[in-house]
Amino acid sequence: MEVNIHEAKTHLSRLLERVAIGEEVIIAKAGKPVAKLVPIESSRPRFKLGSAKGQFVVPDDFNDPLPKEIEDLFWE
């Protein structure tokens, strides 16, 4: 998508929303491209639901009440 400088200043928020979903925006002055808005690649990997499957096991007693001696440490 290409827009002129005035349109870019007027609608910057909307243009940034489009860039955030992967679209590139060219900003032109007098019909000549002068800048390009592109999304920044994230330096951290995106979280994927279920990506840790099989890496740990939740014990069967996970939701059982704490032993009295441990509970006393937190509630006294």
Q: Which of 9-18, 19-28, 41-50, 62-71 is predicted least confidently?
A: 41-50
3-state secondary structure of 12: helix
Helix (H, G, I), strand (E, B) or coil at 76: coil
Rounded to two decimals, the pTM is: 0.52
Provide the pLDDT for residue 43. 63
Cβ distance 62 to 56 under 8 Å?
no
Name the token pair of 49.
């639901």
The pLDDT of residue 31 is: 92
Sign of CA dihedral 61, 63, 65, 66: positive
pLDDT of residue 45: 67
Structure tokens that stand for 70 in this block: 């441990």
In the chain, the N- to C-terminal Cα span, in Å, equals: 64
* Domain locations along the chain: 2-37
